[in-house]
Structure 1
Amino acid sequence: MSPVSELPAAPSAEALAHFSASLAFETDCADVYVSLSGSPSSADFVLLDVRSPALFARGHVPGAVNLPHGKIVASKLEGYPLNTLFVTYCAGPHCNGATRGAIRLARLGRPVKIMIGGITGWLNEGFELAAGEAEF
């Protein structure tokens, strides 16, 4: 028996529930890219880079706005309707900033997903970064 099959797979119904539920919490770089690249953009979310302003200025996903996860508070979100979907990202799989930002948004009652992969995933997909500072 291989290490892969040593523990049996979940029944199909449980697998379906698990994997379907995961997409309620996350999206990927390719889906974000497609949504932001349309003409006009079909983005129905706000892409939130939750890293520091210095890291954002060095390179970020085009179309993202910068709001470090520690500064996500109700007053910063007043300009967005309550049903606005936010998609958070940070440096990549080695960083928990996107999760921290998602927690803060969820605590404020805001819809939120994480862009899995972050900057690392974005670059691995072959997508370009934008540079420059931006205010939230």
Structure 2
Amino acid sequence: MTSLVRNIPAAPSAIALMHFSNRLTFETDCSDVHGSQQAGEVDFVLVDVRGPLAFERGHVPGAINLPGRLLTAEGVAGYAKSTLFVVYCAGPHCNGANKAAVKLAALGYPVKEMIGGVTGWLDEGFELSTEVQRPTAIGCEC
């Protein structure tokens, strides 16, 4: 008898290696963002793409608020094209981060999604902040 898990065979190891390695070029997780912050190795701009009210209620420390619907060439014009943006939204139930990533990539910026969003951040036991963060000098020519 075959389990539901094995009902569809797993990909060969070489294909699985390529698939999972490629996924890591598109995403990071809450633990990696937090670890980078704790080590003082923040070489990316963390962007909360939710609306201003949600951002004010609580966001990942160090994030700037740039709602996806307002993400435009003018809104990111002060950042060098080499700036890595890490976007997140409410959590796995929200596709706002994906929509923002599409916009940033279309504008020519490297971008990753912080999978899990606010929900993942809280699930990891990390605290949210209500402090408003101004854009940092990382990649910003402002």
1:86 aligns with: 85
1:117 aligns with: 116
CA contact (8 A) 2:105 2:111 kept: yes
CA contact (8 A) 1:61 1:129 kept: yes
AA paired with 2:87?
Answer: T
AA paired with 2:20?
Answer: F
Unmatched tracts of structure 2, length 5 or more: 136-142
The superposition leaves residues 113-135 of structure 1 with CA deviations (integer Å, 9 ceiling, x where unpaired) of 00000000000000000014456
CA contact (8 A) 2:62 2:133 kept: no
**Cα distance, 1:19 vs structure 2:** 0.1
2:36 aligns with: 35
Change (3 A) 1:132 1:57: farther
AA paired with 1:18?
Answer: H
State the alpha-carbon separation in 2 of the partners of residues 57 and 47 from structure 1.
15
**Cα distance, 1:79 vs structure 2:** 1.7
CA contact (8 A) 2:63 2:133 kept: no
TM-score calculated relative to the size of structure 1? 0.95
TM-score calculated relative to the size of structure 2? 0.91
State the alpha-carbon separation in 2 of the partners of residues 134 and 61 from structure 1.
10
State the alpha-carbon separation in 2 of the partners of residues 90 and 96 from structure 1.
7
Using the aligned pairs only, state the percent identity.
59
2:139 aligns with: none
Provide the alpha-carbon RMSD of the alignment.
1.1
State the alpha-carbon separation in 1 of the partners of residues 38 and 66 from structure 2.
22
AA paired with 1:43?
Answer: V
Change (3 A) 1:134 1:42: closer
State the alpha-carbon separation in 2 of the partners of residues 17 and 94 from structure 1.
26
Secondary structure of the structure 1 residue equivalent to 2:129 = coil
State the alpha-carbon separation in 2 of the partners of residues 43 and 130 from structure 1.
17
2:25 aligns with: 24
Q: Which moved more, 1:49-58 or 1:73-82?
A: 73-82
2:70 aligns with: 71
Secondary structure of the structure 2 residue equivalent to 1:13 = helix
Unmatched tracts of structure 1, length 5 or more: none
CA contact (8 A) 1:58 1:132 kept: no
Secondary structure of the structure 2 residue equivalent to 1:60 = coil
